[in-house]
Protein backbone atom coordinates (compact mmCIF):
# COMPACT_ATOMS: atom_id res chain seq x y z
CA UNK A 1 0.00 0.00 0.00
CA UNK A 2 2.73 2.59 0.72
CA UNK A 3 3.05 4.34 -2.61
CA UNK A 4 6.66 5.01 -3.36
CA UNK A 5 6.08 5.05 -7.10
CA UNK A 6 3.71 6.82 -9.43
CA UNK A 7 2.88 9.66 -7.09
CA UNK A 8 4.12 12.62 -9.09
CA UNK A 9 1.90 15.64 -9.56
CA UNK A 10 2.05 18.20 -12.34
CA UNK A 11 -0.18 21.22 -12.77
CA UNK A 12 0.32 23.15 -15.98
CA UNK A 13 -1.10 26.70 -16.25
CA UNK A 14 -4.27 25.81 -14.44
CA UNK A 15 -7.05 28.39 -14.16
CA UNK A 16 -10.31 28.14 -12.33
CA UNK A 17 -13.15 30.64 -11.86
CA UNK A 18 -16.48 30.36 -10.18
CA UNK A 19 -19.56 32.46 -9.69
CA UNK A 20 -19.70 33.85 -6.19
CA UNK A 21 -23.14 34.14 -4.66
CA UNK A 22 -21.85 36.43 -1.95
CA UNK A 23 -20.48 38.79 -4.59
CA UNK A 24 -23.66 39.32 -6.52
CA UNK A 25 -23.08 36.49 -8.97
CA UNK A 26 -19.84 37.98 -10.30
CA UNK A 27 -17.16 35.81 -11.74
CA UNK A 28 -14.33 35.31 -9.26
CA UNK A 29 -11.02 33.94 -10.44
CA UNK A 30 -9.65 31.56 -7.82
CA UNK A 31 -6.58 30.38 -9.71
CA UNK A 32 -4.73 32.07 -12.59
CA UNK A 33 -2.27 30.03 -14.65
CA UNK A 34 -0.90 28.05 -11.75
CA UNK A 35 1.90 25.64 -12.56
CA UNK A 36 3.54 23.45 -9.99
CA UNK A 37 4.94 20.00 -9.56
CA UNK A 38 5.86 17.48 -6.89
CA UNK A 39 7.89 14.30 -7.30
CA UNK A 40 6.84 10.96 -5.85
CA UNK A 41 7.25 10.94 -2.08
CA UNK A 42 7.84 14.67 -1.83
CA UNK A 43 6.07 17.05 0.48
CA UNK A 44 4.98 20.17 -1.35
CA UNK A 45 3.82 23.04 0.83
CA UNK A 46 1.57 25.70 -0.63
CA UNK A 47 1.54 28.94 1.35
CA UNK A 48 -0.42 32.07 0.75
CA UNK A 49 -2.88 34.51 2.28
CA UNK A 50 -6.59 33.72 2.58
CA UNK A 51 -8.30 33.80 -0.77
CA UNK A 52 -5.32 32.59 -2.78
CA UNK A 53 -7.29 29.60 -4.05
CA UNK A 54 -5.54 27.01 -1.90
CA UNK A 55 -8.69 25.02 -1.18
CA UNK A 56 -9.68 25.17 -4.85
CA UNK A 57 -6.24 23.80 -5.70
CA UNK A 58 -6.72 20.80 -3.42
CA UNK A 59 -10.19 20.09 -4.77
CA UNK A 60 -8.75 20.09 -8.28
CA UNK A 61 -6.11 17.57 -7.21
CA UNK A 62 -8.74 15.35 -5.58
CA UNK A 63 -10.97 15.48 -8.63
CA UNK A 64 -13.78 17.32 -6.83
CA UNK A 65 -13.54 20.11 -9.42
CA UNK A 66 -12.23 20.41 -12.97
CA UNK A 67 -10.04 23.26 -14.24
CA UNK A 68 -11.37 25.86 -16.70
CA UNK A 69 -7.99 25.94 -18.43
CA UNK A 70 -4.67 24.10 -18.25
CA UNK A 71 -4.04 20.51 -17.22
CA UNK A 72 -3.99 18.67 -13.93
CA UNK A 73 -2.00 15.43 -13.82
CA UNK A 74 -2.43 13.80 -10.45
CA UNK A 75 -2.76 10.19 -9.33
CA UNK A 76 -5.68 9.32 -7.03
CA UNK A 77 -5.61 11.79 -4.14
CA UNK A 78 -7.45 11.95 -0.85
CA UNK A 79 -8.38 15.12 1.01
CA UNK A 80 -7.89 15.86 4.67
CA UNK A 81 -10.14 18.87 5.14
CA UNK A 82 -9.45 21.86 7.34
CA UNK A 83 -11.96 20.74 9.95
CA UNK A 84 -11.39 17.15 11.03
CA UNK A 85 -14.96 16.14 10.04
CA UNK A 86 -14.78 12.96 12.09
CA UNK A 87 -18.16 11.26 12.17
CA UNK A 88 -19.51 11.90 15.71
CA UNK A 89 -21.30 8.53 15.79
CA UNK A 90 -18.21 6.43 15.15
CA UNK A 91 -15.48 5.66 17.67
CA UNK A 92 -11.96 6.94 17.00
CA UNK A 93 -10.85 3.56 15.65
CA UNK A 94 -13.94 3.24 13.42
CA UNK A 95 -13.35 6.77 12.13
CA UNK A 96 -9.76 5.90 11.30
CA UNK A 97 -10.94 2.74 9.53
CA UNK A 98 -13.73 4.51 7.60
CA UNK A 99 -12.01 4.30 4.22
CA UNK A 100 -11.50 0.57 4.71
CA UNK A 101 -15.21 0.11 5.48
CA UNK A 102 -16.08 2.08 2.36
CA UNK A 103 -13.70 -0.12 0.38
CA UNK A 104 -15.91 -3.01 1.44
CA UNK A 105 -14.25 -4.53 4.52
CA UNK A 106 -16.61 -5.59 7.32
CA UNK A 107 -16.27 -3.80 10.66
CA UNK A 108 -13.95 -6.19 12.49
CA UNK A 109 -11.34 -6.76 9.75
CA UNK A 110 -11.32 -3.00 9.10
CA UNK A 111 -10.63 -2.36 12.79
CA UNK A 112 -7.84 -4.93 12.80
CA UNK A 113 -6.22 -3.34 9.77
CA UNK A 114 -6.39 0.12 11.33
CA UNK A 115 -5.29 -1.03 14.77
CA UNK A 116 -1.53 -1.31 14.06
CA UNK A 117 -1.12 2.24 12.75
CA UNK A 118 -3.55 3.54 15.37
CA UNK A 119 -1.18 2.33 18.07
CA UNK A 120 1.97 3.38 16.22
CA UNK A 121 0.64 6.91 15.77
CA UNK A 122 0.26 7.32 19.51
CA UNK A 123 -3.49 6.86 19.80
CA UNK A 124 -3.53 3.62 21.82
CA UNK A 125 -6.14 3.63 24.57
CA UNK A 126 -8.55 5.87 22.64
CA UNK A 127 -9.90 3.21 20.27
CA UNK A 128 -13.47 3.35 21.56
CA UNK A 129 -13.58 7.06 22.44
CA UNK A 130 -16.05 9.21 20.53
CA UNK A 131 -14.57 12.22 18.69
CA UNK A 132 -16.03 14.72 21.17
CA UNK A 133 -14.06 12.99 23.92
CA UNK A 134 -10.74 13.63 22.12
CA UNK A 135 -8.51 16.71 22.25
CA UNK A 136 -8.01 18.79 19.11
CA UNK A 137 -4.59 17.24 18.46
CA UNK A 138 -5.97 13.72 18.90
CA UNK A 139 -8.79 14.41 16.47
CA UNK A 140 -6.35 15.64 13.85
CA UNK A 141 -4.31 12.47 14.29
CA UNK A 142 -7.38 10.31 13.78
CA UNK A 143 -8.36 12.39 10.73
CA UNK A 144 -4.87 12.00 9.32
CA UNK A 145 -4.92 8.26 9.91
CA UNK A 146 -8.27 8.04 8.13
CA UNK A 147 -6.68 9.89 5.20
CA UNK A 148 -3.63 7.64 5.23
CA UNK A 149 -5.70 4.44 5.30
CA UNK A 150 -7.57 5.50 2.17
CA UNK A 151 -4.53 3.93 0.49
CA UNK A 152 -4.08 6.60 -2.17
CA UNK A 153 -0.65 7.72 -3.37
CA UNK A 154 -1.33 11.42 -2.81
CA UNK A 155 -2.48 13.13 0.39
CA UNK A 156 -3.95 16.63 0.23
CA UNK A 157 -3.82 18.31 3.63
CA UNK A 158 -5.80 21.54 3.99
CA UNK A 159 -4.34 23.53 6.90
CA UNK A 160 -4.39 20.44 9.09
CA UNK A 161 -3.00 22.19 12.18
CA UNK A 162 -4.52 25.62 11.68
CA UNK A 163 -7.00 25.32 14.53
CA UNK A 164 -4.55 24.01 17.12
CA UNK A 165 -2.78 25.94 19.85
CA UNK A 166 0.92 26.70 19.31
CA UNK A 167 2.29 23.92 21.52
CA UNK A 168 0.03 21.20 20.11
CA UNK A 169 0.76 22.46 16.63
CA UNK A 170 4.52 22.07 16.94
CA UNK A 171 4.03 18.61 18.46
CA UNK A 172 1.82 17.68 15.54
CA UNK A 173 4.34 19.00 13.01
CA UNK A 174 7.01 16.71 14.47
CA UNK A 175 4.49 13.88 14.55
CA UNK A 176 3.62 14.38 10.87
CA UNK A 177 7.31 14.40 9.88
CA UNK A 178 7.89 11.13 11.77
CA UNK A 179 4.74 9.53 10.36
CA UNK A 180 5.61 10.40 6.77
CA UNK A 181 9.10 9.02 7.25
CA UNK A 182 7.44 5.72 8.13
CA UNK A 183 4.58 5.86 5.61
CA UNK A 184 5.92 7.75 2.61
CA UNK A 185 3.39 9.48 0.36
CA UNK A 186 3.33 12.41 -1.98
CA UNK A 187 1.85 15.18 0.15
CA UNK A 188 0.43 18.57 -0.74
CA UNK A 189 0.22 20.62 2.42
CA UNK A 190 -1.72 23.86 2.28
CA UNK A 191 -0.90 26.22 5.11
CA UNK A 192 -0.69 29.91 5.89
CA UNK A 193 2.12 29.26 8.35
CA UNK A 194 5.35 29.91 6.47
CA UNK A 195 7.46 28.39 9.23
CA UNK A 196 5.41 25.19 9.13
CA UNK A 197 6.00 25.00 5.38
CA UNK A 198 9.76 25.40 5.72
CA UNK A 199 9.99 22.88 8.58
CA UNK A 200 8.10 20.14 6.78
CA UNK A 201 8.37 20.57 3.03
CA UNK A 202 10.74 19.54 0.26
CA UNK A 203 9.54 22.48 -1.77
CA UNK A 204 7.44 25.50 -1.02
CA UNK A 205 5.13 27.19 -3.50
CA UNK A 206 4.21 30.74 -2.50
CA UNK A 207 0.94 32.10 -3.86
CA UNK A 208 -0.62 35.55 -4.03
CA UNK A 209 -4.19 36.47 -3.16
CA UNK A 210 -7.11 36.66 -5.58
CA UNK A 211 -6.56 35.59 -8.25
CA UNK A 212 -4.23 32.91 -6.91
CA UNK A 213 -0.88 32.98 -8.76
CA UNK A 214 2.43 31.35 -8.03
CA UNK A 215 4.83 34.10 -6.94
CA UNK A 216 7.77 31.94 -5.82
CA UNK A 217 8.98 28.35 -5.85
CA UNK A 218 11.52 27.50 -3.16
CA UNK A 219 13.50 24.29 -2.81
CA UNK A 220 14.11 23.33 0.79
CA UNK A 221 17.43 21.54 0.98
CA UNK A 222 17.87 21.44 4.73
CA UNK A 223 18.63 18.18 6.54
CA UNK A 224 15.90 16.69 8.75
CA UNK A 225 14.95 16.91 11.54
CA UNK A 226 14.78 20.66 11.18
CA UNK A 227 14.76 23.05 14.06
CA UNK A 228 12.90 26.33 14.10
CA UNK A 229 16.11 28.03 15.23
CA UNK A 230 18.26 26.63 12.41
CA UNK A 231 19.67 29.69 10.54
CA UNK A 232 18.87 28.01 7.20
CA UNK A 233 15.25 27.59 8.26
CA UNK A 234 15.07 31.20 9.36
CA UNK A 235 16.66 32.43 6.11
CA UNK A 236 14.26 30.46 3.96
CA UNK A 237 11.30 31.59 6.03
CA UNK A 238 12.33 35.20 5.41
CA UNK A 239 12.61 34.56 1.67
CA UNK A 240 9.10 33.09 1.61
CA UNK A 241 7.71 36.00 3.61
CA UNK A 242 9.45 38.44 1.26
CA UNK A 243 7.80 36.67 -1.69
CA UNK A 244 4.47 37.19 0.08
CA UNK A 245 5.31 40.87 0.17
CA UNK A 246 5.89 41.09 3.88
CA UNK A 247 8.78 43.14 5.16
CA UNK A 248 10.02 41.43 8.30
CA UNK A 249 13.05 43.61 8.94
CA UNK A 250 11.08 46.15 10.92
CA UNK B 1 -30.04 5.73 42.65
CA UNK B 2 -30.19 8.71 44.98
CA UNK B 3 -29.40 11.07 42.08
CA UNK B 4 -32.18 9.50 40.02
CA UNK B 5 -34.59 9.97 42.93
CA UNK B 6 -33.43 13.58 43.20
CA UNK B 7 -34.18 14.13 39.52
CA UNK B 8 -37.69 12.70 39.90
CA UNK B 9 -38.39 14.87 42.93
CA UNK B 10 -39.61 18.02 41.14
CA UNK B 11 -42.17 16.03 39.11
CA UNK B 12 -43.38 14.22 42.24
CA UNK B 13 -43.70 17.43 44.24
CA UNK B 14 -45.64 19.14 41.46
CA UNK B 15 -47.94 16.13 40.94
CA UNK B 16 -48.66 15.88 44.66
CA UNK B 17 -49.33 19.62 44.89
CA UNK B 18 -51.81 19.44 41.98
CA UNK B 19 -53.51 16.39 43.45
CA UNK B 20 -53.80 18.17 46.81
CA UNK B 21 -55.31 21.26 45.19
CA UNK B 22 -57.75 19.07 43.22
CA UNK B 23 -58.77 17.18 46.38
CA UNK B 24 -59.37 20.43 48.29
CA UNK B 25 -61.32 21.95 45.40
CA UNK B 26 -63.78 19.01 45.30
CA UNK B 27 -63.95 18.49 49.09
CA UNK B 28 -64.71 22.17 49.71
CA UNK B 29 -67.64 21.90 47.27
CA UNK B 30 -66.15 23.80 44.35
CA UNK B 31 -67.71 21.31 41.92
CA UNK B 32 -70.17 18.40 41.96
CA UNK B 33 -68.37 15.09 42.47
CA UNK B 34 -70.37 13.63 39.53
CA UNK B 35 -68.62 16.19 37.34
CA UNK B 36 -65.19 15.90 38.89
CA UNK B 37 -64.55 13.10 41.38
CA UNK B 38 -61.93 13.79 44.04
CA UNK B 39 -58.57 11.99 43.73
CA UNK B 40 -59.38 9.70 46.64
CA UNK B 41 -62.62 8.63 44.88
CA UNK B 42 -60.68 8.00 41.64
CA UNK B 43 -58.16 5.89 43.55
CA UNK B 44 -60.99 3.95 45.19
CA UNK B 45 -62.64 3.35 41.79
CA UNK B 46 -59.32 2.14 40.38
CA UNK B 47 -58.88 -0.19 43.36
CA UNK B 48 -62.34 -1.75 43.20
CA UNK B 49 -62.34 -2.05 39.36
CA UNK B 50 -58.72 -3.14 39.05
CA UNK B 51 -59.48 -6.28 37.03
CA UNK B 52 -61.64 -4.53 34.45
CA UNK B 53 -59.29 -1.58 34.05
CA UNK B 54 -56.26 -3.86 33.74
CA UNK B 55 -57.99 -5.98 31.12
CA UNK B 56 -58.88 -2.93 29.03
CA UNK B 57 -55.43 -1.45 29.59
CA UNK B 58 -53.70 -4.48 28.06
CA UNK B 59 -55.88 -4.08 24.95
CA UNK B 60 -55.09 -0.38 24.62
CA UNK B 61 -51.40 -0.81 25.42
CA UNK B 62 -51.05 -3.38 22.66
CA UNK B 63 -52.69 -0.99 20.21
CA UNK B 64 -50.42 1.88 21.23
CA UNK B 65 -47.21 -0.15 20.93
CA UNK B 66 -48.11 -1.79 17.61
CA UNK B 67 -49.65 1.40 16.21
CA UNK B 68 -46.54 3.41 17.07
CA UNK B 69 -44.37 0.72 15.53
CA UNK B 70 -46.38 1.01 12.32
CA UNK B 71 -46.16 4.82 12.48
CA UNK B 72 -42.37 4.70 12.92
CA UNK B 73 -41.88 2.26 10.05
CA UNK B 74 -44.14 4.22 7.74
CA UNK B 75 -42.71 7.57 8.83
CA UNK B 76 -39.07 6.53 8.42
CA UNK B 77 -39.69 4.86 5.06
CA UNK B 78 -41.54 7.90 3.77
CA UNK B 79 -38.84 10.27 5.07
CA UNK B 80 -36.07 8.32 3.35
CA UNK B 81 -38.06 8.20 0.11
CA UNK B 82 -38.72 11.94 0.27
CA UNK B 83 -35.05 12.61 1.02
CA UNK B 84 -33.79 10.54 -1.89
CA UNK B 85 -36.29 11.72 -4.46
CA UNK B 86 -37.11 15.41 -5.00
CA UNK B 87 -39.99 14.24 -7.17
CA UNK B 88 -41.51 12.27 -4.31
CA UNK B 89 -40.96 15.22 -1.98
CA UNK B 90 -43.03 17.46 -4.21
CA UNK B 91 -45.65 14.76 -4.76
CA UNK B 92 -46.04 13.37 -1.25
CA UNK B 93 -45.39 16.20 1.21
CA UNK B 94 -48.61 18.17 0.59
CA UNK B 95 -50.68 15.00 0.88
CA UNK B 96 -48.95 14.02 4.11
CA UNK B 97 -49.71 17.45 5.58
CA UNK B 98 -53.31 17.25 4.42
CA UNK B 99 -53.73 13.81 5.93
CA UNK B 100 -53.33 15.38 9.36
CA UNK B 101 -56.53 17.37 8.86
CA UNK B 102 -58.73 14.36 8.18
CA UNK B 103 -61.18 13.85 11.08
CA UNK B 104 -60.78 10.19 11.97
CA UNK B 105 -64.50 9.42 12.63
CA UNK B 106 -65.18 10.27 8.97
CA UNK B 107 -63.03 7.38 7.79
CA UNK B 108 -63.46 5.04 10.81
CA UNK B 109 -66.32 3.06 9.31
CA UNK B 110 -64.53 2.83 5.97
CA UNK B 111 -61.44 1.37 7.65
CA UNK B 112 -63.64 -1.23 9.38
CA UNK B 113 -65.31 -2.01 6.07
CA UNK B 114 -61.88 -2.66 4.58
CA UNK B 115 -60.18 -4.50 7.43
CA UNK B 116 -62.89 -5.77 9.78
CA UNK B 117 -63.68 -5.32 13.46
CA UNK B 118 -60.26 -6.46 14.68
CA UNK B 119 -57.01 -4.78 15.62
CA UNK B 120 -55.70 -3.60 12.26
CA UNK B 121 -58.01 -0.64 11.51
CA UNK B 122 -57.12 0.77 14.94
CA UNK B 123 -53.41 0.47 14.19
CA UNK B 124 -53.99 2.33 10.94
CA UNK B 125 -55.69 5.17 12.81
CA UNK B 126 -52.86 5.43 15.34
CA UNK B 127 -50.26 5.32 12.57
CA UNK B 128 -52.13 8.01 10.64
CA UNK B 129 -52.14 10.28 13.69
CA UNK B 130 -48.52 9.59 14.67
CA UNK B 131 -46.47 9.21 11.48
CA UNK B 132 -46.31 12.87 10.57
CA UNK B 133 -43.87 14.19 13.21
CA UNK B 134 -41.56 11.28 12.40
CA UNK B 135 -41.56 12.22 8.71
CA UNK B 136 -40.91 15.92 9.29
CA UNK B 137 -38.10 15.54 11.83
CA UNK B 138 -36.41 12.73 9.89
CA UNK B 139 -36.52 14.58 6.56
CA UNK B 140 -34.97 17.62 8.23
CA UNK B 141 -32.37 15.47 9.97
CA UNK B 142 -31.38 13.76 6.74
CA UNK B 143 -31.05 17.09 4.95
CA UNK B 144 -29.02 18.70 7.74
CA UNK B 145 -25.93 16.57 7.23
CA UNK B 146 -22.80 18.74 6.92
CA UNK B 147 -22.11 19.19 3.16
CA UNK B 148 -18.38 19.14 3.92
CA UNK B 149 -18.85 15.72 5.48
CA UNK B 150 -20.60 14.50 2.35
CA UNK B 151 -17.71 15.85 0.28
CA UNK B 152 -15.22 14.05 2.51
CA UNK B 153 -17.09 10.76 2.08
CA UNK B 154 -16.94 11.37 -1.67
CA UNK B 155 -13.13 11.73 -1.65
CA UNK B 156 -13.03 8.41 0.20
CA UNK B 157 -14.93 6.96 -2.79
CA UNK B 158 -18.19 6.35 -0.91
CA UNK B 159 -21.15 5.29 -3.07
CA UNK B 160 -24.55 6.95 -2.70
CA UNK B 161 -25.65 4.12 -0.42
CA UNK B 162 -22.48 4.40 1.70
CA UNK B 163 -22.90 8.15 2.06
CA UNK B 164 -26.41 7.42 3.31
CA UNK B 165 -25.32 4.56 5.54
CA UNK B 166 -22.28 6.20 7.16
CA UNK B 167 -23.26 9.88 6.92
CA UNK B 168 -26.89 10.81 6.54
CA UNK B 169 -28.66 8.04 8.39
CA UNK B 170 -26.79 8.29 11.71
CA UNK B 171 -26.84 12.10 11.43
CA UNK B 172 -30.64 11.96 11.19
CA UNK B 173 -31.13 9.46 14.00
CA UNK B 174 -31.38 11.93 16.91
CA UNK B 175 -33.92 14.00 14.93
CA UNK B 176 -35.89 10.87 14.05
CA UNK B 177 -35.95 9.92 17.72
CA UNK B 178 -37.26 13.37 18.63
CA UNK B 179 -40.01 12.78 16.09
CA UNK B 180 -40.71 9.43 17.72
CA UNK B 181 -41.09 11.15 21.09
CA UNK B 182 -43.65 13.56 19.69
CA UNK B 183 -45.43 10.64 18.02
CA UNK B 184 -45.44 8.77 21.31
CA UNK B 185 -46.96 11.70 23.16
CA UNK B 186 -49.93 11.71 20.77
CA UNK B 187 -49.97 7.92 20.37
CA UNK B 188 -51.99 7.28 23.53
CA UNK B 189 -54.72 9.76 22.64
CA UNK B 190 -54.45 8.28 19.14
CA UNK B 191 -55.41 4.90 20.57
CA UNK B 192 -58.37 6.52 22.30
CA UNK B 193 -59.52 8.07 19.03
CA UNK B 194 -58.95 4.76 17.24
CA UNK B 195 -61.11 2.86 19.74
CA UNK B 196 -63.93 5.36 19.81
CA UNK B 197 -64.11 6.01 16.07
CA UNK B 198 -63.96 2.47 14.72
CA UNK B 199 -66.77 0.09 15.64
CA UNK B 200 -65.36 -3.10 17.09
CA UNK B 201 -66.14 -6.31 18.91
CA UNK B 202 -65.86 -6.67 22.67
CA UNK B 203 -62.39 -8.23 22.44
CA UNK B 204 -60.89 -4.98 21.06
CA UNK B 205 -62.76 -2.42 23.14
CA UNK B 206 -59.97 -1.13 25.43
CA UNK B 207 -59.79 1.83 27.80
CA UNK B 208 -61.19 4.26 25.25
CA UNK B 209 -64.45 2.38 25.04
CA UNK B 210 -64.60 2.01 28.78
CA UNK B 211 -64.05 5.72 29.35
CA UNK B 212 -66.77 6.69 26.86
CA UNK B 213 -69.35 4.33 28.30
CA UNK B 214 -68.47 5.22 31.91
CA UNK B 215 -68.64 8.93 31.20
CA UNK B 216 -72.07 8.45 29.63
CA UNK B 217 -73.28 6.14 32.41
CA UNK B 218 -72.54 8.29 35.45
CA UNK B 219 -69.47 6.20 36.34
CA UNK B 220 -67.32 9.32 36.37
CA UNK B 221 -64.87 8.06 38.99
CA UNK B 222 -64.17 4.94 36.93
CA UNK B 223 -63.72 7.03 33.77
CA UNK B 224 -61.16 9.12 35.65
CA UNK B 225 -59.47 6.00 36.96
CA UNK B 226 -59.05 4.71 33.39
CA UNK B 227 -57.82 8.16 32.31
CA UNK B 228 -55.23 8.12 35.09
CA UNK B 229 -53.96 4.81 33.73
CA UNK B 230 -53.64 6.30 30.21
CA UNK B 231 -51.83 9.28 31.72
CA UNK B 232 -49.32 7.08 33.53
CA UNK B 233 -48.85 4.90 30.45
CA UNK B 234 -47.98 7.87 28.24
CA UNK B 235 -45.39 9.06 30.77
CA UNK B 236 -43.90 5.56 31.08
CA UNK B 237 -43.66 5.17 27.28
CA UNK B 238 -41.95 8.54 26.98
CA UNK B 239 -39.23 7.63 29.43
CA UNK B 240 -38.85 4.15 27.96
CA UNK B 241 -38.08 5.81 24.64
CA UNK B 242 -35.59 8.15 26.31
CA UNK B 243 -33.81 5.06 27.63
CA UNK B 244 -33.85 3.50 24.17
CA UNK B 245 -32.34 6.70 22.76
CA UNK B 246 -29.32 6.33 25.00
CA UNK B 247 -28.82 2.90 23.51
CA UNK B 248 -29.45 3.87 19.90
CA UNK B 249 -27.55 7.16 19.79
CA UNK B 250 -24.99 7.02 22.60
CA UNK B 251 -22.80 9.65 20.92
CA UNK B 252 -25.58 12.23 21.09
CA UNK B 253 -26.48 11.71 24.68
CA UNK B 254 -23.70 12.42 27.10
CA UNK B 255 -23.41 16.02 26.07
CA UNK B 256 -26.98 16.69 27.25
CA UNK B 257 -27.25 13.75 29.64
CA UNK B 258 -27.96 15.62 32.84
CA UNK B 259 -31.14 17.20 31.60
CA UNK B 260 -32.85 13.83 31.75
pLDDT tens digits along A28-86: 777 788 788 888 888 888 888 776 778 888 888 888 888 888 888 788 888 888 888 88
- Examine residue A208 and state whether it is found in any structural domain, yes or no: yes
Q: Is B251 on the interface with A (CB under 8 A)?
A: yes
Average of per-residue pLDDT across B184-189:
88
Using CA atoms, how far residue A200 sits from A5, A111, B109, B116, B240, in Å, is 21, 30, 76, 76, 54
Closest-CA residue in chain B for A84? B149
Q: Tell me the C-alpha to C-alpha distance, in Å, between residue A15 and each of A1, A11, A158.
A: 33, 10, 19
Chain A contacts of B156, Cβ < 8 Å? 78, 98-99, 102, 146, 150
Q: Is the pTM of this model over 0.90?
A: no
At A247 the pLDDT is 53
A8 lies in the same domain as A132: no
SS3 for B28? Answer: coil
Rg (CA), chain B: 22
Cα(A243)–Cα(A202) distance, rounded to whole angstroms?
17
ipTM: 0.76
> Strand (E) positions, chain B?
none
Q: What pLDDT does residue A11 have?
A: 79
Mean pLDDT score, B203-227: 82
Q: How far apart are CA A218 and CA A226, in angstroms?
A: 16
Residue A129: CB partners within 8 Å, gap ≥ 6?
A91, A92
Give, in degrees to the nearest 5, the angle at Cα B225 between B224 and B229.
110
Task: Mark whether A114 and A164 lie in a shared domain.
Answer: no
pLDDT reading at A250 higher than 70: no
What is the domain range of residue A147? 87-151
Helix axes B120-143, B104-115, angle to 10 degrees: 120
A183 and A116 share a domain? no
**Same structural domain, A161 and A250:** yes
* Beta-carbon pairs below 8 A across chains A and B: 52
In the predicted structure, residue A203 carries a pLDDT above the cut 60:
yes
| pLDDT range class, residue A249, cuts 50, 70, 90 | low
pLDDT in tens, A102-151: 888 888 888 888 888 888 777 888 888 888 888 888 888 899 889 888 88
Contact by Cβ (8 Å): A132, A114: no
- Report the half-sphere exposure of A112 (CA within 13 A, side-chain side): 4
Q: How confident is the model at residue B250 (pLDDT cuts 50, 70, 90)?
A: confident
Tell me the average pLDDT across A6-27. Answer: 75
Task: Name chain B contacts of A78, Cβ cutoff 8 Å.
Answer: 155-156
CA dihedral of A106, A110, A112, A115, whole degrees rounded to 10 = -150
Contact list, A146 vs chain B (CB under 8 Å): 156
Which of A110, A128, A151 is the endpoint of a domain? A151
Number of Cβ within a 10 Å radius of residue B185: 17
Count other C-beta atoms under 10 Å from residue B246's C-beta: 13
d(CA A244, CA A43) in angstroms, rounded, equals 20
In-domain check, residue B17? no
User: Is B148 in the A-facing interface, judged by CB distances under 8 Å?
Assistant: yes
Residues 165-204 of B with CB under 8 A from A: 166-167, 170-171, 173
Query: What sign does the dihedral B112-B114-B118-B124 (CA atoms) show?
Result: negative
**Ramachandran category for residue B206: left, alpha or beta (phi over 0 → left; psi -120 to 50 → alpha):** left
Interchain CB distance below 8 Å, B251 and A83: no
Residue A5 has pLDDT above 60, yes or no: no
Within 8 A of A64 by CB-CB distance, chain B residues are 151, 154-155
> Is some CB atom of chain A closer than 8 A to the CB atom of B256?
no
The mean predicted confidence, pLDDT, of chain B is 85
Candidate from B158, B251, B252 with C-beta closest to A102: B158
Length of chain A: 250
Identify which of A62, A89, A132 has the shortest CB distance to residue B155.
A62
Tell me whether B252 touches chain A (CB under 8 Å): yes
Backbone angles phi, psi at B249, to 5 degrees: -130, 65
| Over residues B32-45, mean pLDDT | 85
Across the range B145-150, mean pLDDT stands at 84
Cα A220 from Cα A199, distance rounded (Å): 9
User: Which residues in chain B have their CB less than 8 angstroms from residue A157's CB?
Assistant: none
Q: Are A137 and A245 in a shared domain?
A: no
- Based on the domain organization, do A60 and A15 belong to the same domain? yes
Distance CA A188, CA A77 (A): 10
The verdict on a CB contact (< 8 Å) between B148 and A98 is no
Within 8 A of A87 by CB-CB distance, chain B residues are 149, 166-167, 170
Flag if B251 and A88 touch (Cβ within 8 Å). yes
Cβ partners under 8 Å of residue B200, min gap 6: B112, B117, B118, B121, B122, B209
Q: Are residues A161 and A41 in the same domain?
A: yes
Nearest residue of chain A to residue B167 (CA atoms): A87
Q: Which helix (H) or strand (E) holds B180?
A: helix B169-197
Domain final residue pick, A102, A131, A151 = A151
Is residue B36 one of the residues assigned to a domain?
no
Cα–Cα distance, B45 to B200 (Å, whole number): 26
Same domain, A161 and A127: no
Nearest chain B CA: its distance from A97 CA (Å): 11
| Nearest Cα residue in chain A from B160 | A102
What's B193's domain CATH number? 1.10.3720.10
What residues in A contact B255, CB-CB < 8 Å?
132
Residue among B151, B162, B170 minimizing CB distance to A89 = B170
Bond preceding residue A211 cis, omega within 30 of 0: yes
pLDDT digits (tens, 9 = 90+) for A173-185: 888 888 888 888 8
Q: How many structural domains compose chain A?
A: 2
Question: Could you list the residue range(s) of the whole structural domain that residue B234 is in?
Answer: 57-249
- What average pLDDT is seen over chain A? 81
Cβ contact, residue pair A98, B156, below 8 Å: yes
Give A234→chain B minimum CA distance, Å: 35
Do A34 and A140 share a domain, yes or no? no
> What distance in Å separates the CA atoms of residue A153 and residue A5, rounded to the nearest whole number?
8
A13 and A45 together in one domain: yes
| Cα–Cα distance for residue pair B128/B112, rounded to 1 Å | 15
- The residue among A95, A119, A151 that closes a domain is A151
Nearest CA in chain A to B147: A85
Asked if B161 reaches chain A (Cβ–Cβ under 8 Å), the answer is no
Separation in Å, CA of B3 to nearest CA in chain A:
24
Higher pLDDT, B224 or A7: B224
Task: Examine the pLDDT at B71 and tell me if it is beyond 90.
Answer: yes
- Tell me what the mean pLDDT of segment B114-128 comes to: 87
Number of Cα atoms under 13 Å in the Cβ half of residue B100: 13
| A82, part of any domain | no
Q: Which of residues A147 and A249 earns the better pLDDT score?
A: A147
Residue A96 shares a structural domain with residue A142: yes
pLDDT of residue A110: 85
Task: Determine, for residues B166 and A130 on separate chains, whether the beta-carbon distance falls below 8 Å.
Answer: no
Has residue B5 been placed in a domain?
Answer: no
Q: How far apart are CA A133 and CA A131, in angstroms?
A: 5
Instruction: Extract long-range pairs of A192-195: CB within 8 Å, 24+ residues apart.
Output: A192/A47, A192/A48, A192/A49, A192/A50, A192/A159, A192/A162, A193/A47, A193/A161, A193/A162, A194/A47, A194/A237, A194/A240, A194/A241, A194/A244, A195/A228, A195/A233, A195/A237
Specify whether A57 is located in the same domain as A12. yes
Instruction: Please check the confidence at residue A2 and state whether its pLDDT lies above 50.
Output: no
Q: Binning pLDDT at 50, 70 and 90, where does residue A4 land?
A: very low
Is pLDDT above 50 for A1?
Answer: no
Give the angle B203-B52-B39 at the CA atoms, nearest 5°: 135
Domain count, chain B: 1
Query: Which of B149, B159, B249 has its CB closest to that of A85?
Result: B149
Let me know if residue B118 belongs to a domain.
yes
| Nearest residue on chain B to A95, alpha-carbon basis | B166
Amino acid sequence: MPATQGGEIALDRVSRSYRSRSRGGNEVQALAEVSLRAETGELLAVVGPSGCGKSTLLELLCGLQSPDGGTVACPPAVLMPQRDLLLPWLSALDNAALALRIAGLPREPARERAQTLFVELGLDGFQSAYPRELSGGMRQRVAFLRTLLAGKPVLCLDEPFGALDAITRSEMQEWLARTLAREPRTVVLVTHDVEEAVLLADRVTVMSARPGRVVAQLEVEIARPRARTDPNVIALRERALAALGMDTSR
Amino acid sequence: MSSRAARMLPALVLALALLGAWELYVDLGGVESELLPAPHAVAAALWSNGGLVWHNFTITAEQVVLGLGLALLAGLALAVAIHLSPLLRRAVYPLAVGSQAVPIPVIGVLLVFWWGFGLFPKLVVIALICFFPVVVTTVDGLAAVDPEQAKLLRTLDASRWQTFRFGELPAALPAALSGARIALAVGVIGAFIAETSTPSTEAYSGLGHEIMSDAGGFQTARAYAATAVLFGFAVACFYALALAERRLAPWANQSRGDTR
